[in-house]
């Protein structure tokens, strides 16, 4: 699959090296946060043995060391000029992430069943260019199966949101 990525170097995008550097910076920062927090908790020996921050502190040190090595490894001139992903590819990724974020946000408001109906049909109609009836029927079908499976058979209650339409039918 990596062949596909390397086949189109002409497309503009984020370089692999930049992505590597940013990621190792992010992991380094994560390490620092864990280390500081563990230090505040106490990472020494108390009368009753190691304190709560003892183990995480050394974990954090290893994260930082590993991140530094990964960072320096990318500074070598032969680290390559490969691409992480083109803008086109990243836009495709965004077409999953953005609607999914909206979907999860909607769950807070209208509950998972209605949100799933809206999300699946919206995704199919707008991004998949399906006729509205197809999108709506797949969305409704999935929501219906979920509802039967969880609320009725397994008695597992899923979030119904601040504006619960199912209160009309007693759920």
Partner 1 sequence: MEELSSLMQGFAVVLTPYNIMLMFIGVFLGIIVGVLPGLGGANGVAILLPLTFTMSPTSAIVMLSCIYWGALFGGAITSILFNIPGEPWSVATTFDGYPMAQQGKAGEALTASFTSSFFGALMAIIMITFIAPAVANFALRFGPPEFFSVYFLTFCSFIGMGKEPPFKILVAMMIGFALAAVGIDIVTGQLRLTFGYTELLRGFNFLIAVIGLFGIGEILLSMEEGLSFTGKTAKLNMKVVLETWVKLRRYWGTAIRSTLIGCWLGVTPGGATPASFMAYGVAKRTSKNGEKFGTGQLEGVVAPEVANNAAGTSALLPMIALGIPGSPTAAVLLGGLLIWGLQPGPLLFVEQKDFVWGLIASMYLGNIASLILVLTCVPFFAAILKVPFSIIAPVIIVICTVGAYTVANAMGDVWFMLVFGVVGYVFKKLDYPLAPLVLALVLGDQAESAFRQSMLLSQGDMRIFFSNSLVGSITVLALFMLFWPFIAKGVAHIRAKAAG
Of positions 128, 132, 133, 165, contacts partner 1 by CB under 8 A: 128
- Asked if 10 touches partner 1 (CB under 8 A), the answer is no
Of positions 130, 137, 140, 164, contacts partner 1 by CB under 8 A: 130
Of positions 9, 11, 25, 55, contacts partner 1 by CB under 8 A: 55
How far, in Å, CA of 61 to CA of 27, rounded?
11
- Asked if 110 touches partner 1 (CB under 8 A), the answer is no
Two tokens at 30?
């994560």
Estimate to the nearest angstrom the gap between the alpha carbon of 166 and the chain centroid: 29
- Asked if 158 touches partner 1 (CB under 8 A), the answer is yes
Residues paired with residue 85 on neighbouring β-strands, in sequence order: 14
Of positions 43, 63, 114, 136, contacts partner 1 by CB under 8 A: 63
- Asked if 168 touches partner 1 (CB under 8 A), the answer is no
**92 and 11 Cβ atoms separated by less than 8 Å:** no
3-state secondary structure 44-90: CEECCEECCCHHHHHHHHHHHHHHHHHHHHHHCHHHCCCEEEEHHHH
How far, in Å, CA of 92 to CA of 3, rounded?
18
- Asked if 114 touches partner 1 (CB under 8 A), the answer is no
How far is CA 17 from each of CA 71, 101, 158, rounded to the nearest angstrom?
Answer: 10, 28, 43
- Asked if 43 touches partner 1 (CB under 8 A), the answer is no
Contact residues for partner 1, defined by CB under 8 A: 1, 4-5, 16, 19-20, 23-24, 27, 30-31, 34, 37-38, 41, 45, 49-56, 59-60, 62-63, 65-67, 69-70, 73, 84-85, 89-90, 92-93, 95-97, 99-101, 103-104, 107-108, 112, 116, 119-120, 123-124, 127-128, 130, 138, 142, 146, 150, 154, 156-159
């Amino acid at each position: 699959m990596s062949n596909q990525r390397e086949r189109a170097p002409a497309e503009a995008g984020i370089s692999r090296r930049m992505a590597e550097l940013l990621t190792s910076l992010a992991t380094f920062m994560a390490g620092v946060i864990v280390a500081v927090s563990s230090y505040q908790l106490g990472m020494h020996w108390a009368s009753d043995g190691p304190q709560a921050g003892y183990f995480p502190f050394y974990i954090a040190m290893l994260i930082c060391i590993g991140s530094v090595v990964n960072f320096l490894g990318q500074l070598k001139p032969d680290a390559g000029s490969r691409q992480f992903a083109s803008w086109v590819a990243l836009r495709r990724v965004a077409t999953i992430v953005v609607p999914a974020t909206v979907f999860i946000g909607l769950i807070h408001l209208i509950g998972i069943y209605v949100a799933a109906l809206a999300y699946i049909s919206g995704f199919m109609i707008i991004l998949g260019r399906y006729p509205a009836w197809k999108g709506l029927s797949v969305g409704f079908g999935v929501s219906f199966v979920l509802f039967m499976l969880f609320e009725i058979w397994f008695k597992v209650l899923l979030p119904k949101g601040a504006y619960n339409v199912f209160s009309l039918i007693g759920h």
